[in-house]
Structure 1
Amino acid sequence: MISDTGAMQVIETYKLMIYGLVQGVGFRPYIFRLAHTHRLKGWVENRTDGVILMINATHEGVLKFRDEIIHTAPVASAIESIEIVKAGRQEFSSFEIRNSEDISDAVTEISPDIAVCPECLYDMKEQPHRKGYPLINCTHCGPRFSIIRDLPYDRPNTTMAPFDMCPVCRAEYTDVSDRRFHAQPVACNHCGPVYRMESASGQIENIDDILTRVKDIVAGGGLLAVKGTGGFHLTCNAFSEEGVKRLRNMKRRNGKPFALMFRSADEARKFVKINRKEEEVLTSWRRPIVLLRKKRNITKGIADGLSTLGVMLPYMPFHHQLFEHLDTPAVVMTSGNFTDEPILISDEKATRMFADHVDGVISYNREIFNRIDDSVLAVTGKDVMVLRRARAYAPSPIRTGIELEGILGTGAELTSTFCMGKGRQAIMSQYIGDLKNLETLDFYREIYDRFCRMFRFSPNLVVSDLHPDYMSTRFARQLAKEHPNIQHISVQHHHAHIASGMLDAGLEGEVLGFSFDGTGLGSDGHSWGGEVLKADYLNF
């Protein structure tokens, strides 16, 4: 490691190791261009533990280069640290991007999925080979976690592997001056995945014909199943009472509210209040569902009896195309599943299960590998609360400052997730759902196995809820039984919530914690309700 105190201004060879969210966000192309701006020679490559650079520079030059990386990195990246080490002298004739390497059990972060950027929306109207292409993307946007099979993040390790680039896309992919330089999901009308629509009247494959048909269905109060980034949505006109009623009956969902997708924030403002912080979250590259205060009701059956409405904005190219054709300013966008089951991701299964309930199933032939729902957030004052951590947030880690290596938390029974400790990071799974049936439990196990592989995780301590009958507790017991080296401990439900709140607020020592989370098994063997506990991280 070198210091900032200075040294002789001679050209040396330096190794830079960059840790954090630096894969899948256009980081290597960004470094390539920045190195050319600084007239540096060397190379950059992805590794499972981060991004590594070797450059020839002066001491002052490498520090300036580091500082510019910190201040101008891609918007969706998150640099945790940059280490600089003086290496043995090497001569480089140019700067290049090298092939990725899988070198250790240490891993970099995996990029979450990113909403389509304004530049791609422009290209969708202007680029000849991408005009109207509904799966357009670049290094700044598009699918990431939902298509990743393994690290390093390169096309062969994603569900884009079956799609060979055409000569035009290949030229963009290899051109350092192009925004799609090393964009792994790059595609166009000539070589990429395509949309199709299945209905009782047959199959439609032309995107313009699909959009025309969708307009008619939505205007007539019909229902659609539409493949999103991380799974299918069920959608209808938000102002059609008949459509909303059909959707509610289909999902067997009596009271839970539906989320709405509005054409724009300005359209949403006609129905909900949006302050500056809420707009910042709503329009961010993550594009989550945000709970906003109602100005007036929209349609019976959407969010009856509630003062808030779940609102999101278009985040896929297809969503923008959809609203260019629709007359309505908002549609219902709810998870494409039946009550208590995981969101569907298979085109074939969605067509089979939804065919008798909807007027059309719209899909595309790029596989979703990691299913993931829309995230749900709320703003309270200046703070943003993540209520459902999913698309665009998972699987980004939470930095804790506590050594967590090898610890697995299996979560509770309802609105379940699990959490893995990797170094000082807590890596939470995406929202999984209520562990009430075999399908959701299978999803839980599937994601656990995938996270173990992608994050090179091996548990040595598994922590579960105190309740012995929770599926997550049974999973923990089974894991410990199958692997004698894994210790299993149980934690009281309300104490776990308070400890989580302490960590989130950065608190140490003893606190008076209020946990109003409904019932949980108490340490005395009886059911406890909302509890007030004098507690620290270990005891209460």
Structure 2
Amino acid sequence: MSAATICDRTRLRVRVSGAVQGVGFRPYVYGLATRYGLAGFVANGPEGVTIEVEGGRASEFLATLPLEAPPLARIDHICVQETAALATEKFSIGASEGGKLSTHIIADAATCGQCLSELFDPENRHYLYPFISCSHCGPRYTIAGRLPYDRHNTVMKAFRLCAACTAEYADPASRRFHAEAIACPECGPRLSHGINAIVAAIAGGQVIAIKGLGGYQLLCDARNQDAVQRLRSRKQRRQKPFAVMLGSIECVNEIAEANALELALLESAARPIVLLTSRKCLAPAIAPGLSRVGVMLPVAPLHHLIFHALRSTGAWIAEPSPVIVVTSANPCGEPLLIDNAQALRRLEAIADLVVTHDRDILTRADDSVVAVVAGRSQFIRRARGYAPEPIQLAQSVPPVLAVGGALKSTVTITRDNQAFVSQHIGDLNTPEGIRVFEGTIQHLASILDVEPVVIAHDLHPDMASTRFAQASGRALIAVQHHHAHAAAVIAEHGHAGPALALVLDGHGVGSDAGNWGGELLLCEGAMCRRIGHLAPLQMPGGDRASREPWRMASAILHWLGRGNEIAPRFAAQRQARCISALLDQSGGATTTSAGRLFDAVAALLGIVSWQSYEGEAAIKLEALVRRTAILEAGWTIDGGVLSLRPLFARLIADDIDAAGGAGLFHGTFAAACVDWVMRSARTTGVNTVVLSGGCFQNAILMDEIWRGCCAAGLTPLVPQRVPPNDGGLSLGQAWIAALQIAEQSSASEGRG
């Protein structure tokens, strides 16, 4: 409708969809309507926000509506209809409407600038209050039980507003108007311990636990090597890196190098952990053997209060600035703790001080982790601050539940033309992990008001997610692991038509029941064809080889006809003397995994022989690269099979050191992959190339393959809305399942 057609006596019904609940959108509309002298109302509804306006300046209202929206709002669609004028004189904010839901809860947001100013203003009633929030910031998804997003549907229903908060909550001119999480020292949640006790413990080298937005976190002084080692010992986390938190953006340069995009990510409302090049000035135990460190800024008011108090103590008078370790409180690799009683019991042996509060967490959400790769942001873990923001799909699809894999688990539910990918759940290798996985499905389906018609799952029969799907009694669609990796990228980019997919991954069951992981696929619609793979390599010991890289290195030596070198090279490994005999046997496990090649090279170069956490060998191998190099004729391609045998023969030479070998491996492998893709593009006529799989968390590999594809005239598509690792599987599964249903429906209609 053209604004010019609106007359003075016309009343307009405006429906706004998107992230428009819980973000101060209704008071924004109220203020806008008041500015233009309009009558009518605004109310939350199942589709988002409903507005009715009438008056002579309604056209100006419509033009301005999308331009000045609150910072956390996102408008996806505005629908305008004319209706009969009611000759009302006032504009009001109405009660929430009922009906079938098509809106959603937005993600939690870090403390905004206005609340931060009030937090440290002695004249403000929220002075030093660790739960200050407004419609521009604070918890959302983690405290909401269902939609619509009203206070009585959140954990805040347990806190009756005082007179002052009630006045702000009811005042359309206040940024706390219907801000469901608001509270103050008079009527809101309380900490179990004071800030001074928390700071004294950190400054004294102790480990503390605090209840964050999405769950409990463990904190200690990141400059205190003894404190960090103590945390490692108690948490049984031998080598896996810790993230650190700084008090302000101005302090980042003290510990890391950051470009403009990385700084913007650090300061965004999502407040993720951002991987930055480390200046190596923190405790060595923070990120052993790595070149990057995970950095984040304060998320909640409590974090700001801790840094304010730290800077006020004698422990940090001036330089350097305080830095604290902030890591998830999930003992023994289980899901993040959110319950007070569980935290007090299970963190007793880890933390010297456990700080609780009485605002419940309904949905756990770990800190998100991102990196800047090939000039754009890429998720390593998508959780707090981003979930459950939807991913727009190229078309409306049936309601599908996709249950992901076994590691870095997420689930996805589709609704109309949107896919809602859950927060990172974690690994499904414990009863508690499976319980959280099932609870996440139930909660996400409930708040979206969706009843899935089918469940999509991985081909692997022994995954807990697959068993859940099979026990559900619903219609099932199995999706091959690497096809799902590729489809996730295709879905988020809305790509139509065929695409090549280079999937470099650790492990996934293939359509032939084999152990795949380095695959070149041709994808079109719901179909996928394997057109190439890495040369198969033996896996002595089966799955043990994924945890013990020396075994994969032994397979390389055996492949090169140098099996006699295995025992002396890996003399520290008790079974090294008998591994050659195992490799001589036929019928053993083999793999085309790209991840296992990184493991093998790390062991051959003496970097890692046994992994204490997933991906350790590959991450430490990447950290050694100073510059890349390409070994000419370092690979062969025959019948779609890419072999790096010539490269491996060079890497075991005596004149190659670890750093040089790491650079040669990365450069040559990337060049080989580009050559592989280019040949397939010429053969198939398909120039769009999807890059996905866990190995593409490697920034060097992603950057060099992406640049190589661009230079060759190809169009690479890379993961941006979900991780390239298994955290993106559920989105790909959901998209493939939805396409299969659509194709089956079209076929049925054709037969009819």
Which segment drifts farther, 214-223 or 28-37?
Answer: 214-223
Which segment drifts farther, 227-236 or 174-183?
Answer: 174-183
Q: Work out whether residues 168 and 174 of structure 2, in 8 Å CA contact, stay in contact via their aligned partners in 1.
A: yes
Residue 8 of structure 1: how far off its partner (Å): 6.1
CA deviation profile, 1:315-365 (whole Å, cap 9, x unmatched): 111111100111352100000111320100011110111123211111111
- The verdict on how the C-alpha distance between 1:5 and 1:187 changes in structure 2, with shifts beyond 3 A counting, is closer
- Taking the TM superposition and a 5 Å limit, the aligned residue runs for 1:35-184 are 35-58=33-56, 61-104=57-100, 106-126=101-121, 127-184=123-180
2:4 matches 1:6:
yes
1:234 to 209, 218, 228: 218
Q: Work out whether residues 391 and 430 of structure 1, in 8 Å CA contact, stay in contact via their aligned partners in 2.
A: yes
Alpha-carbon distance in structure 2 between the residues aligned to 1:82 and 1:128: 38
2:515 matches 1:527:
yes
Alpha-carbon distance in structure 1 between the residues aligned to 2:67 and 2:97: 27
2:17 matches 1:29:
no
Q: Work out whether residues 14 and 57 of structure 1, in 8 Å CA contact, stay in contact via their aligned partners in 2.
A: no
Residue 533 of structure 1: how far off its partner (Å): 1.6
SS of the residue 1:361 aligns to: strand
- The verdict on how the C-alpha distance between 1:129 and 1:6 changes in structure 2, with shifts beyond 3 A counting, is closer
Residue 277 of structure 1: how far off its partner (Å): 0.9
Alpha-carbon distance in structure 2 between the residues aligned to 1:89 and 1:41: 10
Give the aligned partner of residue 17 of structure 1. 15
CA deviation profile, 1:514-537 (whole Å, cap 9, x unmatched): 111111111111111221222224
2:415 matches 1:419:
no
Q: Work out whether residues 469 and 476 of structure 2, in 8 Å CA contact, stay in contact via their aligned partners in 1.
A: yes
Give the aligned partner of residue 192 of structure 2. 196
Residue 194 of structure 1: how far off its partner (Å): 0.6
Q: Work out whether residues 259 and 309 of structure 1, in 8 Å CA contact, stay in contact via their aligned partners in 2.
A: yes
Give the aligned partner of residue 452 of structure 2. 459
Alpha-carbon distance in structure 1 between the residues aligned to 2:182 and 2:38: 28
Give the aligned partner of residue 363 of structure 2. 370
1:428 to 418, 421, 434: 421
- The verdict on how the C-alpha distance between 1:213 and 1:45 changes in structure 2, with shifts beyond 3 A counting, is same
Alpha-carbon distance in structure 1 between the residues aligned to 2:421 and 2:238: 30
CA deviation profile, 1:371-404 (whole Å, cap 9, x unmatched): 1111111112442112211111001100012222
Alpha-carbon distance in structure 2 between the residues aligned to 1:298 and 1:150: 43
Alpha-carbon distance in structure 2 between the residues aligned to 1:173 and 1:270: 41
Q: Work out whether residues 264 and 313 of structure 1, in 8 Å CA contact, stay in contact via their aligned partners in 2.
A: yes
AA of the residue aligned to 2:117 = Y
CA deviation profile, 1:465-496 (whole Å, cap 9, x unmatched): 011111111111112x2xxxx32011110111
CA deviation profile, 1:446-482 (whole Å, cap 9, x unmatched): 1111111110111112110011111111111112x2x
Residue 297 of structure 1: how far off its partner (Å): 4.4
Give the aligned partner of residue 659 of structure 2. none
Q: Work out whether residues 287 and 315 of structure 1, in 8 Å CA contact, stay in contact via their aligned partners in 2.
A: yes
SS of the residue 2:49 aligns to: strand
Alpha-carbon distance in structure 2 between the residues aligned to 1:530 and 1:255: 27
2:493 matches 1:505:
yes
SS of the residue 2:413 aligns to: strand
Q: Work out whether residues 244 and 302 of structure 1, in 8 Å CA contact, stay in contact via their aligned partners in 2.
A: yes
Give the number of the structure whose residues are more often helix, by fraction: 2
2:243 matches 1:259:
yes
2:479 matches 1:495:
no
Alpha-carbon distance in structure 2 between the residues aligned to 1:45 and 1:219: 49
Give the aligned partner of residue 305 of structure 2. 321
Q: Work out whether residues 129 and 190 of structure 1, in 8 Å CA contact, stay in contact via their aligned partners in 2.
A: no
Which segment drifts farther, 169-178 or 500-509?
Answer: 500-509
AA of the residue aligned to 1:138 = C
Residue 38 of structure 1: how far off its partner (Å): 1.1
Q: Work out whether residues 102 and 151 of structure 1, in 8 Å CA contact, stay in contact via their aligned partners in 2.
A: no
Alpha-carbon distance in structure 1 between the residues aligned to 2:342 and 2:475: 39
AA of the residue aligned to 1:155 = R
SS of the residue 2:60 aligns to: helix
SS of the residue 1:51 aligns to: strand
CA deviation profile, 1:251-277 (whole Å, cap 9, x unmatched): 211222111111112212112111111
AA of the residue aligned to 2:5 = A
2:337 matches 1:344:
yes
Residue 512 of structure 1: how far off its partner (Å): 2.0
Alpha-carbon distance in structure 1 between the residues aligned to 2:525 and 2:383: 26
Give the aligned partner of residue 197 of structure 2. 213
- Taking the TM superposition and a 5 Å limit, the aligned residue runs for 1:254-403 are 254-326=238-310, 327=316, 329-403=322-396
AA of the residue aligned to 2:186 = H
Alpha-carbon distance in structure 1 between the residues aligned to 2:35 and 2:117: 27
Runs of 5+ unmatched residues, structure 1: 198-209
Q: Work out whether residues 499 and 537 of structure 1, in 8 Å CA contact, stay in contact via their aligned partners in 2.
A: no
- The verdict on how the C-alpha distance between 1:254 and 1:315 changes in structure 2, with shifts beyond 3 A counting, is same
AA of the residue aligned to 1:345 = I
Residue 130 of structure 1: how far off its partner (Å): 1.6
Residue 190 of structure 1: how far off its partner (Å): 0.6
Residue 183 of structure 1: how far off its partner (Å): 1.4
SS of the residue 1:530 aligns to: strand
Alpha-carbon distance in structure 2 between the residues aligned to 1:494 and 1:77: 35
Q: TM-score, normalised by structure 1?
A: 0.93
Q: Work out whether residues 144 and 155 of structure 2, in 8 Å CA contact, stay in contact via their aligned partners in 1.
A: yes
Q: Work out whether residues 8 and 54 of structure 2, in 8 Å CA contact, stay in contact via their aligned partners in 1.
A: no
Alpha-carbon distance in structure 2 between the residues aligned to 1:188 and 1:386: 35
Residue 128 of structure 1: how far off its partner (Å): 4.0
SS of the residue 2:394 aligns to: coil
CA deviation profile, 1:66-116 (whole Å, cap 9, x unmatched): 221211111111100000001122222211111112211x32121111111
CA deviation profile, 1:238-293 (whole Å, cap 9, x unmatched): 01111111111122112221111111122121121111111111101111111111
Alpha-carbon distance in structure 2 between the residues aligned to 1:62 and 1:110: 29
CA deviation profile, 1:180-227 (whole Å, cap 9, x unmatched): 122111111111111113xxxxxxxxxxxx222222211221100010
CA deviation profile, 1:107-136 (whole Å, cap 9, x unmatched): 212111111111111112334422211100
AA of the residue aligned to 1:394 = A
Residue 151 of structure 1: how far off its partner (Å): 0.7
Give the aligned partner of residue 200 of structure 1. none
AA of the residue aligned to 1:68 = T
AA of the residue aligned to 2:146 = D
Alpha-carbon distance in structure 2 between the residues aligned to 1:63 and 1:487: 49
- The verdict on how the C-alpha distance between 1:179 and 1:83 changes in structure 2, with shifts beyond 3 A counting, is same
Q: Work out whether residues 36 and 60 of structure 2, in 8 Å CA contact, stay in contact via their aligned partners in 1.
A: no
AA of the residue aligned to 2:114 = E
AA of the residue aligned to 1:534 = L
Residue 233 of structure 1: how far off its partner (Å): 0.1
Q: TM-score, normalised by structure 2?
A: 0.67
Alpha-carbon distance in structure 2 between the residues aligned to 1:404 and 1:311: 38
Q: Work out whether residues 142 and 365 of structure 2, in 8 Å CA contact, stay in contact via their aligned partners in 1.
A: yes
Which segment drifts farther, 388-397 or 87-96?
Answer: 87-96
Q: Work out whether residues 219 and 324 of structure 2, in 8 Å CA contact, stay in contact via their aligned partners in 1.
A: yes
AA of the residue aligned to 2:394 = G
Q: Work out whether residues 260 and 312 of structure 1, in 8 Å CA contact, stay in contact via their aligned partners in 2.
A: yes
